[in-house]
Structure 1
Amino acid sequence: MTASRKKTSKAQQTPAGTIVSAVAAAESSLPDSTQIIVAAITAAIIEHRLAPGAKLTEQKIAAIYGVSRTIVRQALFQLARDHLVTLEPARGAFVSQPSVEEAQQVFAVRRMLEQHLVEEFCEKAVASDFRALRAHLKQEQAVVSRVDVTGRTRLLGDFHVLMAERIGNHVLAQILSELISRCALITLMYQSSRAAQHSSDEHVNILKALEARDVAKAKALMEAHLLATESSLLYHPRTSSADLAQALGSYAA
């Protein structure tokens, strides 16, 4: 295994943080306080602690983190660029509310990218990569069985990002992490409560095909998995009124 592969393996010792870690890495050029706020709001969205349409008040966020509103504004601009936040003139910042059309487009892009991901994984994966995915699936099954909404949302998305990171395709991992962050918004608005267990079971079947190096079967299963996830969307938006300080509090600490 090359030095770069060893570095990747070490990074996967805590797969549950993959998406947020990828986002933080992508924003390495931003000031530290801005990075922290970007990562915290992203995590709150992924973990369904901030609902679509939730207002992100600059003054409140500045007070939570003990920073200036300028720092908060930088973070919100970055999140808007990543399509997680919508900035409205004279109204402020809100967690984005993806339309049905946007939801369909996001899943269409994921299907295209993840067909390539399956091919590359089958070609490059070594034994330690399969062990990492099996360990990840154990965590998935555990949180799904406990009806752990926060844990399952992150882990179900991380399975896909972890595949790309294990084979050293960090560009694809970053793109997928951004798309999956947007999917977290979409599923929060539209997904039925029974879909999580089905998604985890489908991951198990995908891994079996990958371990067999059956590219055609793995691609077919991945395509069916993403189509099934999309078909579980009810397209009737949900709302919630989670307190901003409560949603971000653990990260502020």
Structure 2
Amino acid sequence: MARTRTPLKIVASNPFDVDVLPDDAAGPPAGATQRIVDAITNAIAERRLMPGTKLSEQKIGDIFKVSRTVVRQAFNQLSRDWLVVLEPARGAFVATPTAEEARDVFEMRSILETAVTKRLCATITDEQVAQLREHLRQEQAAVTNAEVPGRTRLLADFHLVLAQMLGNQVLTQMLGELLTRSSLIALMHQSSHSAEESHSEHVAIVEAFERRDAKAAVRLVGKHLVNVQHNLNLDPQRVDLADILGK
């Protein structure tokens, strides 16, 4: 079953040290592990939690009013999802994806999203097109208002909405995890692909869906992913000190 996302409330300016608290954090113990997982996942997806950040068991336990054992269970789940790295004698850290991992993630996204686009273009309804148009409207508002967390979430969720329209929960969950890892990659490698550019590309994709033009939709989705990946600094130039120092 696909995981649900918990609405978040930021209770301090620093997202993690980790003062990101879900609205129901003071609720019953049942589901406490998933609430922690959801909070950390959302903070990563919205680029409020930076790669390499140390995650304190004690502090998170205090925030969610749970034992350190529950926090460790959440860390273990996040580690299986490649979002957290557990280091012996050092603790838990937000993952820092390598360039090779980044390429692998975008390759998998391309495979999955191409398949989603082909299938959806053959079945999409007028109601679903209207749903995508509403999503674009929300994207535009967030981009215009420079609402960074909301903008980041909406731009990523556009791809998730397409998968959800096919009704395949396994596919939706897989893509959701890849999108969250993509957020970490963008933080690590400082994507210059602007929110405005992503939104414009999403508009073109929806127009292709509205025309039921599968060929154009697949081409536009592929181009969009290539543009995003291209703007990541996955192959930084090697520094030659002799050239720099003029020797």
Normalising by structure 2, we get a TM-score of 0.82
Is the 2:192–2:231 Cα contact (8 Å) retained in structure 1?
no
Q: 1:192 Cα shift?
A: 3.5
Q: Name which of structure 1's ranges 143-152 and 207-216 shifts more when overlaid on structure 2.
A: 143-152
- Other-structure match for 2:208: 209
Question: Aligned AA for 2:5?
Answer: V
Is the 1:195–1:232 Cα contact (8 Å) retained in structure 2?
no
Question: 2:4 & 2:49 partners in 1: Cα distance?
Answer: 16
Q: 1:166 Cα shift?
A: 1.8
Superposition pairs for residues 90-129 of structure 1, below 5 Å?
90-129=89-128
Superposition pairs for residues 60-71 of structure 1, below 5 Å?
60-71=59-70
Question: 1:75 & 1:19 partners in 2: Cα distance?
Answer: 15
Name the count of aligned residue pairs: 212
Is the 1:206–1:218 Cα contact (8 Å) retained in structure 2?
yes
Structure 1 residues 113 and 80: alpha-carbon distance in aligned structure 2, compared to 1, 3 A threshold: same
- Other-structure match for 2:240: none
- Other-structure match for 1:197: 196
Superposition pairs for residues 163-202 of structure 1, below 5 Å?
163-202=162-201
* Greater share of residues in helix: 1
- Other-structure match for 2:5: 20
- For each residue in 1:149-191, what CA deviation from the matched residue of structure 2 results, as whole angstroms up to 9, or x when unmatched? 1011111110011011122122211111000010010111223
Question: 1:147 & 1:190 partners in 2: Cα distance?
Answer: 21
- Other-structure match for 1:9: none
Per the alignment, in what secondary structure is the counterpart of residue 154 of structure 2?
helix
Is the 2:84–2:93 Cα contact (8 Å) retained in structure 1?
yes
- Other-structure match for 1:46: 45
Is the 2:139–2:154 Cα contact (8 Å) retained in structure 1?
yes
- For each residue in 1:66-91, what CA deviation from the matched residue of structure 2 results, as whole angstroms up to 9, or x when unmatched? 10000000000000000000000000
Question: 1:166 & 1:194 partners in 2: Cα distance?
Answer: 26
Structure 1 residues 42 and 201: alpha-carbon distance in aligned structure 2, compared to 1, 3 A threshold: same
Per the alignment, in what secondary structure is the counterpart of residue 37 of structure 1?
helix
Question: 1:142 & 1:193 partners in 2: Cα distance?
Answer: 20
Is the 1:115–1:223 Cα contact (8 Å) retained in structure 2?
yes
Question: 1:169 & 1:127 partners in 2: Cα distance?
Answer: 20
Question: Aligned AA for 2:54?
Answer: K
Identify unmatched segments of 5+ residues in structure 2: 7-28, 237-247
Question: 1:236 & 1:80 partners in 2: Cα distance?
Answer: 26
Larger radius of gyration: 2
- Other-structure match for 2:231: 232
Identify unmatched segments of 5+ residues in structure 1: 1-17, 22-29, 238-253
**Percent of aligned pairs sharing the same letter:** 50
Q: Name which of structure 1's ranges 73-82 and 146-155 shifts more when overlaid on structure 2.
A: 146-155
Per the alignment, in what secondary structure is the counterpart of residue 140 of structure 2?
helix
Query: Superposition RMSD on alpha carbons, in Å?
Result: 1.8
Is the 2:193–2:228 Cα contact (8 Å) retained in structure 1?
no
